Structure 1
């Protein structure tokens, strides 16, 4: 069971949106907050990312930004230098600025014109200096009910792909760059598929970057010999009448030791996570299928439609039928 794919799939609300950004120095683009998660890929040239929110972490390769040598006041994250092939993921879609230099005055993204084109539109700005080309966009993820795996990520992840780092991610970036620089037959289908899969490459690279000896939270849970099989079992068959004891048996630990280990890594007790995943699965079935409520209840481990409806309303604040109608109307 691919837990990363399942977790992200449970949060996706639409296909990602993206635009190619072409800047020539001097240039700076202020991007507003977005619903979901933002991302940038540097296809050519160099630039800076300037977070606008406070307390933004920078994943595995950045700086938290309170260094006076960088000219930042307290709570002002440091500018992040970006090079060709670099990928940035902004977990909460926070507002930020992209610029050729931290001192360049920014223009608002909504004030810039996007020229239509194949396979995606292009936003052009700046003067006549050095060129930078980026792929910018956002993944439409339900931040109202984030999966704990995503919630535990740093607010900002910076992944350089040069010098042999993250080879699969680097290959995806290279393919994207080629298709955007020289669109050919099929590019209109290839580029959206690459952008969609880029999210999995980004998060896989980050999780695999975490040293095994010091990894914590989900980075540790996904490779833990006891917790990972229990998570896989919950995801694969949420309808099974799992108990802490049966999951602990599967993990090869005592009930108490397993419960402590699971809670520490996942961020909530085993039965709370089981309920979360059952409700997440139910919500997806209601949105994406015509399955009757009795079937949805059975597929998520509830013995009756009444018991399922009661649990669903407690979790989502509305009855399953109302949720389905609202989701279809959106």
Structure 2
């Protein structure tokens, strides 16, 4: 029996009713997901079920649902397009795990660990195709353009990250380009699509896209910090995975700009070694230069910019819930 999905429950009494109503729509998203995971090839369905039902939070469908509702749209399109965006996100996870040779995904064995890389890549492709089918069924060219642009940028972000692997000379500008493309674009797409189907007009589409982008950046900055500070049982993977895979994230960049040559060598060794003692030495360097606090401060700045993007939305419980999500992404522990 697949694990149950975590429920989205905004904090505060005024939002309890919205949380219950949103659960109904999210249940419809789950039903749409299940319907579109069916394949005539049993292995495809089995692998897709494993990754899709592995405990993801459905953050991107939630963003699309809330954006549309905040702009006064309710209807079946949010279900279909929320499912499409979730499939695209899930396909990127399958491909990421192959690229990184990851053995765990959300605390469970990854698809490539259970099956193999070839099967994981092909099932990722299957999910992209299913997403394309849902978007085609929706029939809105503006939605199609928004989602294909975001998917293209996400792929470019992944390629850019790979080309910069273990590059200790990576600059912050390049780092943020990777984050915007790899993480921010799909969240911005989800909220923008919500505005598009609500027919809210260009200014609101931009505001919702800005909200999603800054939320995505804050999410990734928090993720970078969790790689060094998380409780492993909660995070679903061991600490230091990004470092071991050679990903030069912002905590490292901050320290690299300030550290001694000897400390730089410790960081370099950390990007090529899985030794626990080396990871702990890198962590000491990060603490010495306040790297964790620096990154958390930037996450808070992007969270504030996400909130600011909501200012011109009409007051609603959905708008309040979007604000609650800002708190969630920087306070999460997994």
Q: Which has the higher strand share?
A: 1
Q: Which has the higher helix share?
A: 2
TM-score by length of 1: 0.31
Which protein shows a greater Rg?
1
TM-score by length of 2: 0.31
